[in-house]
């Protein structure tokens, strides 16, 4: 039996791709995608006002050379997008519009997860969408315990902690470290802690590990609620024929050492500020 088959017996496997053929090949339960809004902004009509505003800013405030003006424009564009992301009402309005468009095509909101960033504002938008509108949300760009606890207390449907991105940060900050054992991989450690916290304190929010760099990370999280995996790594898992021990379980989570965290905006921002890795990745 392949590792992929073993994994499916204890974890819901999701394909991290928009490739329909790959989805058919590996028969995952669901699929996720990650479009780049910043890249799309340069060519999509709905983002032209932000692009034009960034260009005007660069013309007025930029340096003397074309390169400096372009740099100013790009920086300003990222800030403008960030400001849009921080608008709770705007996020809610857009989510409702997307759900309406799906329903007009005959697709129920029960089949859709609206993806939002795990900023404080994004989490509050998700809370309102879940509570008032019955719209399920997937909170992404999640790198810390503060974000995970805030999402759980907001009762969002699902979170996507980024295993590989956490590993990338630690490797970049510690050049002398070339690799980690899978169970000690910082991204794996983070997701394991979040999973254990959720199960220990009875949170219903689902944990979906994401952004994997190798199959070792995946195997070390066997038993997690969901794992979203690229076609390349799905193929490696399918080609590997060996047993796979369960690493995470609700029963084992009860013995974790974490204490309950009472979350509010002040605690959230303080914890995120104290977490150098999450502060750099999430903000």
Task: Give the CATH number of the domain where residue 117 resides.
Answer: 3.20.20.70
pLDDT of residue 36: 46
Segments forming the whole domain that contains residue 17: 3-34+113-282
> Tokens in use for 227?
């794992």
From the candidates 115, 127, 199, 200, give the one annotated as an active-site residue: 115
Does some domain include residue 143?
A: yes
Question: Which has the minimum average pLDDT: 43-47, 159-163, 192-196?
Answer: 43-47
Which residues have a Cβ under 8 Å from the Cβ of 92 and sit 6 or more positions away?
A: 125, 128, 129
Does some domain include residue 127?
A: yes
User: How many folded domains does the chain comprise?
Assistant: 1
pLDDT band at 46 (very low <50, low <70, confident <90, very high): low
**Beta strand residue intervals within 17-123, DSSP E:** 30-32, 114-117
Question: Which has the minimum average pLDDT: 38-52, 184-198, 261-275?
Answer: 38-52
Of 183 and 52, more confident: 183
First-residue to last-residue Cα distance in the chain:
42
Does some domain include residue 220?
A: yes
Of 101 and 72, more confident: 101
Does some domain include residue 74?
A: no
Burial class (CB in 10 A: 0-12, 13-18, 19+), 218: buried
Does some domain include residue 88?
A: no
115 classed as catalytic = yes
> Tokens in use for 170?
């630690």
Does some domain include residue 121?
A: yes
pLDDT of residue 28: 52
pLDDT of residue 86: 53
pLDDT band at 22 (very low <50, low <70, confident <90, very high): low
């Amino acid at each position: 039996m392949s590792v992929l088959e073993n994994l499916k017996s204890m974890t819901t496997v999701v394909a991290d791709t928009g490739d329909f053929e790959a989805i058919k090949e590996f028969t995952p339960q669901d699929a996720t995608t990650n479009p780049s809004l910043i890249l799309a902004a340069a060519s999509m009509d709905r983002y032209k006002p932000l692009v034009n505003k960034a260009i005007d800013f660069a013309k007025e405030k930029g340096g003397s050379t074309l390169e400096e003006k372009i740099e100013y424009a790009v920086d300003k564009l990222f800030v403008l997008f960030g400001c849009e992301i921080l608008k709770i009402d705007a996020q809610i309005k857009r989510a409702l519009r997307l759900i309406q468009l799906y329903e007009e095509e005959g697709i129920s909101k029960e089949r859709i997860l609206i993806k939002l960033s795990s900023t404080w504002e994004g989490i509050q938008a998700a809370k309102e969408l879940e509570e008032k509108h019955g719209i399920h949300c997937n909170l992404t760009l999640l790198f810390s315990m503060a974000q995970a606890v805030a999402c759980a207390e907001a009762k969002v449907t699902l979170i996507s902690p980024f295993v590989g991105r956490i590993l990338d940060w630690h490797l970049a900050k510690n050049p002398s470290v070339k690799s980690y054992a899978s169970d000690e991989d910082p991204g794996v450690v983070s997701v394991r802690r979040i999973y254990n916290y959720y199960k220990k304190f009875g949170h219903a929010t689902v944990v979906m590990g994401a952004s994997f760099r190798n199959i070792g990370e995946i195997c070390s999280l066997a038993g997690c609620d969901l794992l979203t995996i690229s076609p390349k790594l799905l193929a490696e898992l399918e080609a590997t024929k060996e047993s796979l021990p369960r690493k995470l379980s609700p029963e084992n989570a009860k013995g974790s050492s974490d204490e309950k965290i009472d979350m509010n905006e002040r605690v959230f921002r303080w914890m995120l500020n104290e977490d150098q890795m999450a502060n750099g990745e999430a903000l």
